[in-house]
Structure 1
Amino acid sequence: MHLRIINISIRALVMISRFIFLFMLVKLLDPTDVGIYGLVVAAVGYSLYFVGLDFYTYTTREISSASKQYWGSFLKCQGLLTFLLYILVLPMLILLFYMDVLPWSLLKWFFFLVVLEHICLELMRFFIAASEQVTASIVLFLNQALWAVLVIGLMLLDESFRRLDYVLFFWLMGSSLAIVFSVFKIVKMNLGGWSTAVDFRWIVSGVKIAIPMLVATLAFRGVFTFDRYWLQGLAGLDIVAAYVLFIGVAGTLIAFLDAAVFSFVYPKLIHAYKNDDSKMYKKCMREMLIFVSLFSVLFLIGSLLVFPYLLNWIDKPVYFQFFDIYYWVLAAMIINAFWMIFHYALYSQRHDRHIVYSHLASIGSFLILAFVFSSIWGYYSILAALCVSQLVILIWKLSAYVYLTPKRFFGISSA
């Protein structure tokens, strides 16, 4: 229990730091720079799935159900696959600049950010699968929080640091520090399997499982990438700046639930299902449902009470002008939080195809609604499409959970 408290404390510190960073960034930088930053974050985040192939969806289940003596072999195999993907995918990403998705001035930052962010993300996923949640949270703190606080401090002390280049530089430094820490931690874990020959059949088996999950992830994350560029096309960079702020605030709900609930529960959920422990499985489902419901209500009330005062402090008209965006993205994040419960239930039962189908249906509904109604509702069509896309996932995953879960695993348990 004390490990969970430590983990939640670190994650809370990360969220507070990111919260401060986001609001200070909005206050200290021009809305145009904030909008460009949001586009960079979206482009980097989406690119991670191409260089990672969502292979973690395979390794997570392998690590969670295998002895520690094999983990080194798993990491070595994944490392080789990652290296090959870098060679294949990274040169293709330059198309983002030829297609004017990103300005050429950001080229020198983009590729370093993609590689370092991907390595950090995979290391955090490994530590979570290995039940080293506190270590994963420390990596997250170094990767997302420490550098953010430092660059904001410099911006406050010296106005010459109030430039997007400095933000991106410190982001790179934070990711690098997180990787160094992770390597030292893995060495101390004394994992077995490093001397084992690379198992290409294991890699191929993982790719076969990961590719459908990659399609699902690209579909889901595509909604949270295309939205910003679509908004830019409809209303300019100012609305993107507001959207970055509002979805960043609303997204802290998912970040908190991931730290306090999902990262602890889903490895146990996988283990319980594999070992036919229906009592533990239902207990995990109950825990997720209670915590998601409780924190969603608290976050809804708290953020609506506090947010207007923070906007007064920022004192930039553009954020007041588009404040109604926050209601839409908050609704989308709450729906997202609830479908995550059934996502992990299906994932633990290896019903991957329904995860894929639900995400494809999600982006399909998003694109259709946004395209059809953009000429009528303007940027509101993007916000409505965002909420509908999340609702589609919730309905699909809940239905699949109800119909596919064996009776002995279905329901919740208070034991």
Structure 2
Amino acid sequence: MTLDGMFGARLMRVANVSLRGLTLASKFILLLVMAKFMTLSEVGQYGVLAATVSYALFILGLDFYTYSTREMLSVDQILWPSLLRNQAAFFAVCYATMLPVFYLALKWSDTVSERLVLWFLVLVVLEHLAQELTRLLVAMSRPVSATVLGFLRGGLWACACIAVMVVAPALRNIETVLIAWVLGSLCASCFGFACIRGLPWSVATKRPVDWRWIWRGVRICTPLLVATLAIRGISVFDRYMQGYFAGDEALGVYTFYAGVANAIQAFLDAAVFSFLYPRLVKGAKSEDRSIFDAAVSQLTRATVLTTTVLSFVALVGIKPVLTLLRKPIYAEHFGMFLWILSGVVLFSLSMIPHYVLYATRQDRAILATNLISLVVFIVAAPLLAPHLKSLAVPVALTVAFGTMYVSKLALCRKFGMRR
């Protein structure tokens, strides 16, 4: 029996939310420990590296899951191993071609310090494997297993790292964090492979790799990839812009506040979207408008309620956290947190029309809105920098995500869909 099979529907939801909450709590406490024991420069450096790894994941896999997931949900499960082998062959090609490019780009550009380049390459491979396995488990309707994998990937290693940094002052550095991160991603990948070992893999061995299917997927997922790179690019460029316009110390503060606010989006991904977006896709395919509308309404209620509650908790809880840090510079930039939180709330709400457009295959509409939002951010941040200084990037972030939310909502209405 699988891990998910041991839980009823209600217990499954509770287990999923609890594990995700524990993962986020672990990450938050790690961020707090880093802010307390490490310099602002090191915190900022970690923020840049983590954002760059996150962005590189999309380039490495070309966001192929946006195609493969819809294909898997459209066929009988007996065919899944063949599709997964096709996907594995595609990723092998991606690794062979993209990793050397990443290495050369980082060496030439000095984007990441030389001592962190190899860490980056190891992390991007392990994180990509763990990410794709998580998405696969979600598509297989095994959200508890996906959340356990997520806890190994982002929670358990953070707990171990916290303990080490608390008891061993000599190990309070970025290398300790990266070692723990690598071990966590490795454990998560191993767990994910163990979860899918029960699939009928013998079926896949009887079929050759379908390169036509792969090429079709590349053509289909390319618009979504560009859309993802555009919107995720904001969460990478903001670090670089903050460091450029406001300096290393302001970058460290920004990294801390962004980590706190982004926990809302991370929680939504596991507690809301991982459960509900497959229902939205199936509702769109069923051609039964009542099923689709019910799925949209459920997604809307869950997203709005969860975002509201978590935003309130963040606003109430951040002040005691700043007191614990005993570093006045964080409190001095509290306005930065308010703007970052506003941007995250708008981004979270924009995921409602985003998933509606995704489920109904309006890929070009998603691409257009994300590109517009990226342009708004890139233009707004430099224009605001001379006037707002350290607040320029957070304000530009909020404006960009507000633009994205309004434009996606308008497109949903244009295509005659409910929010």
Corresponding residue for 1:258? 269
Matched, 1:399 2:410: yes
Q: For residues 151-204 of structure 1, what are the alpha-carbon distances to aligned partners after superposition, in whole Å with 9 as ceiling and x for unaligned?
A: 110111111221111110110000001111111111124456422211111101
Q: Which moved more, 1:182-191 or 1:36-45?
A: 182-191
Q: Distance in 2 between the 1:193 and 1:228 partners?
A: 46
Corresponding residue for 2:126? 116
Q: Aligned AA for 1:178?
A: A
Corresponding residue for 2:217? 206
The 5 Å alignment of 1:239-250 reads 239-250=250-261
Corresponding residue for 1:56? 65
Corresponding residue for 2:7? none
Which residue among 352, 376, 381 is the counterpart of 1:365?
376
Q: Aligned AA for 1:320?
A: A
Q: Aligned AA for 1:103?
A: S
Q: Is the Cα contact below 8 Å between 2:81 and 2:203 reproduced in 1?
A: yes
Corresponding residue for 2:183? 173
Which residue among 32, 42, 51 is the counterpart of 1:33?
42
Q: Distance in 1 between the 2:256 and 2:213 partners?
A: 42
Number of residue-to-residue matches in the alignment: 408
Q: Distance in 2 between the 1:110 and 1:386 partners?
A: 26
> What is the CA-CA distance between 1:400 and the residue it aligns to?
1.1
Matched, 1:306 2:317: yes
Corresponding residue for 1:161? 171
State the SS of the aligned residue for 2:75: coil
Corresponding residue for 1:152? 162
Matched, 1:276 2:262: no
> What is the CA-CA distance between 1:371 and the residue it aligns to?
2.3
Q: Distance in 1 between the 2:386 and 2:107 partners?
A: 28
Matched, 1:231 2:251: no
Q: For residues 294-333 of structure 1, what are the alpha-carbon distances to aligned partners after superposition, in whole Å with 9 as ceiling and x for unaligned?
A: 2222222222111111100011122112221100110001
Q: Which moved more, 1:80-89 or 1:369-378?
A: 369-378
Q: Which moved more, 1:184-193 or 1:150-159?
A: 184-193
Closer/same/farther in 2, CA of residues 189 and 404 from structure 1, 3 Å limit: same
Corresponding residue for 1:105? 115
Q: Which moved more, 1:389-398 or 1:182-191?
A: 182-191
Q: Aligned AA for 1:290?
A: R
Q: For residues 6-27 of structure 1, what are the alpha-carbon distances to aligned partners after superposition, in whole Å with 9 as ceiling and x for unaligned?
A: 1111111111111111111211
Corresponding residue for 2:4? none
Q: Is the Cα contact below 8 Å between 1:17 and 1:149 reproduced in 2?
A: yes
Q: Distance in 1 between the 2:384 and 2:167 partners?
A: 46
Q: Distance in 2 between the 1:192 and 1:19 partners?
A: 43
Q: Aligned AA for 1:388?
A: V
State the SS of the aligned residue for 1:131: coil
Identical pairs, percent: 34
TM-score (norm 1): 0.95
> What is the CA-CA distance between 1:112 and the residue it aligns to?
0.1
Corresponding residue for 1:336? 347
Which residue among 150, 172, 177 is the counterpart of 1:140?
150
Q: What is the RMSD of the two structures over their aligned residues, measured on CA atoms?
A: 1.4
Corresponding residue for 1:3? 12
Q: Distance in 1 between the 2:322 and 2:369 partners?
A: 36
> What is the CA-CA distance between 1:381 and the residue it aligns to?
2.2
Q: Distance in 2 between the 1:350 and 1:201 partners?
A: 21
Q: Which moved more, 1:188-197 or 1:281-290?
A: 188-197
Q: Which moved more, 1:330-339 or 1:229-238?
A: 229-238
Q: Distance in 2 between the 1:334 and 1:221 partners?
A: 16
> What is the CA-CA distance between 1:97 and the residue it aligns to?
3.0
Corresponding residue for 2:96? 87
Corresponding residue for 1:377? 388
Q: For residues 122-172 of structure 1, what are the alpha-carbon distances to aligned partners after superposition, in whole Å with 9 as ceiling and x for unaligned?
A: 111111111111111111100111001001101111112211111101100
Q: Distance in 2 between the 1:286 and 1:378 partners?
A: 41
Q: Aligned AA for 2:172?
A: R
> Gapped runs of 5+ residues in structure 1?
none
State the SS of the aligned residue for 1:194: helix
Q: Is the Cα contact below 8 Å between 2:250 and 2:390 reproduced in 1?
A: no
Q: Aligned AA for 2:54?
A: G
Q: Is the Cα contact below 8 Å between 2:158 and 2:180 reproduced in 1?
A: yes
Q: Is the Cα contact below 8 Å between 2:242 and 2:390 reproduced in 1?
A: yes
State the SS of the aligned residue for 1:180: helix
Q: Is the Cα contact below 8 Å between 1:292 and 1:338 reproduced in 2?
A: yes
> What is the CA-CA distance between 1:373 and the residue it aligns to?
2.7
> What is the CA-CA distance between 1:372 and the residue it aligns to?
2.4
Q: Which moved more, 1:172-181 or 1:154-163?
A: 154-163
Q: For residues 213-264 of structure 1, what are the alpha-carbon distances to aligned partners after superposition, in whole Å with 9 as ceiling and x for unaligned?
A: 1111111011110111111111222111111111111111111111121111
Q: For residues 358-413 of structure 1, what are the alpha-carbon distances to aligned partners after superposition, in whole Å with 9 as ceiling and x for unaligned?
A: 000010111111122323332322122111110111111111111114xxxx448x
> Gapped runs of 5+ residues in structure 2?
1-9
Q: For residues 243-300 of structure 1, what are the alpha-carbon distances to aligned partners after superposition, in whole Å with 9 as ceiling and x for unaligned?
A: 1111111111111111121111110111111111322211111112112222222222
